[in-house]
Amino acid sequence: MSSNQQQQTVTVYTVIKCVNGDYETERPFQDGDFVLKIVGTCPKDGGNLYISGIYAVVPGEKESS
């Protein structure tokens, strides 16, 4: 890392979906999270909840359209 670069803190999120496709939420990443991991039961229909994605947000970066 050069002296001109600043270390940035990223925030990592986990996206959770129902296998039946009628529920989605996200939460902060937790140790042990991985895509397709079953993490609970859907509050809408009792189906399995699984991790569908994990992503990071870097402060100050703009999303591209």
Instruction: Examine residue 63 and state whether it is found in any structural domain, yes or no.
Output: no
Does 21 have pLDDT greater than 50?
A: yes
- Nearest in space to 41 (alpha carbons), one of 14, 57, 9, 17: 17
Number of domains comprising the chain: 1
Instruction: Examine residue 34 and state whether it is found in any structural domain, yes or no.
Output: yes
Instruction: Examine residue 3 and state whether it is found in any structural domain, yes or no.
Output: no
Instruction: Examine residue 64 and state whether it is found in any structural domain, yes or no.
Output: no
Give the structural domain span for 43: 11-57
Mean pLDDT of the residues in the chain: 89
* pLDDT digit string, tens, across residues 48-64: 999 999 999 998 877 66
Instruction: Examine residue 4 and state whether it is found in any structural domain, yes or no.
Output: no
Model confidence band, residue 65 (pLDDT cutoffs 50, 70, 90): low
Share of the chain above pLDDT 90, in %: 75
pLDDT at residue number 8: 78
Instruction: Examine residue 36 and state whether it is found in any structural domain, yes or no.
Output: yes
Instruction: Examine residue 2 and state whether it is found in any structural domain, yes or no.
Output: no
